[in-house]
A = this chain, B = another copy of it.
Amino acid sequence: MARIQTDKDVSRKEVIIKASAKLFREKGYKAASMRDLAVKVGVEAASLYNHIRSKAELLHDICFNVANVFFEHMNEVESTQATPIEKLEKLLRFHIKQMLENFEEVYVSDREWRYLADPYLSNFQNQRRSYRKRFASIIQQGIEQGQINKIDASTAVLVLLHAISGIDSWHRSTHKVSGEELEENIVTILIQGLQK
């Protein structure tokens, strides 16, 4: 009988969530089956249900874990005394770092959240909307202080966030750019693009 392997301090549930993040990223939530997941974990499909409640719960856990990480970082950034441009640079670098270090989860949270079921769906959308609003208001401050070009702040947020989410694993594996180099390239384009 094949057991789910766990290092200490890592529950079997966490092993399954991690595997599901990879699977959902590779195939998409809807196309990924619990049987696929079982193979990845090394167990029969039915056995998964000793540890999790449902497929939906997996997506839910992934999305909200990621959302909370970004939310907390936003709190941190807002509480500092930095200029708007410096704050934006901090946010961008954090997004890039998360995308590189936590790729599967961040990617899934970004692209597959629409398959969340209510009430989690509306919840997630609200959190997302709120995050973008706070992001936009930092840009707006930069505009009012004359550091940033006069552009529509919420359009700029979309441009920045989507530009970063485009950095998927394909890029690093086939093109062999280091994480640091990647970060500098992106920050150069986007921060300079905003500045006057």
Binding site for B on A (CB under 8 A): 28, 30-31, 111, 114-115, 149, 151-152, 154-156, 158-167, 169-171, 173, 175, 177, 181-182, 185-186, 188-194
Contact = CB atoms under 8 A, between A and B. Distances in A.
A177 B192 contact: no
A166 B161 CA distance: 8
Contacts of A30: 28, 30-31
Contact of A188 (B115, B170, B193): B193
Contacts of A164: 159, 162
Contacts of A193: 188-194
Contacts of A149: 188-189, 192
A167 B156 contact: no
A116 to B, nearest CB: 12
B159 A189 contact: yes
A155 B159 CA distance: 15
7 contacts: A30-B31, A151-B189, A152-B181, A152-B185, A162-B163, A191-B193, A192-B192
A158 B152 contact: no
Contacts of A31: 30, 115
Contact of A114 (B28, B158, B166): B28
Contacts of A160: 163
A165 B162 contact: yes
Contacts of A158: 166-167, 169-171
Contact of A170 (B115, B155, B173, B181): B155
A186 B159 contact: yes
A186 B155 contact: yes
Nearest to A26: B114
Contacts of A161: 166
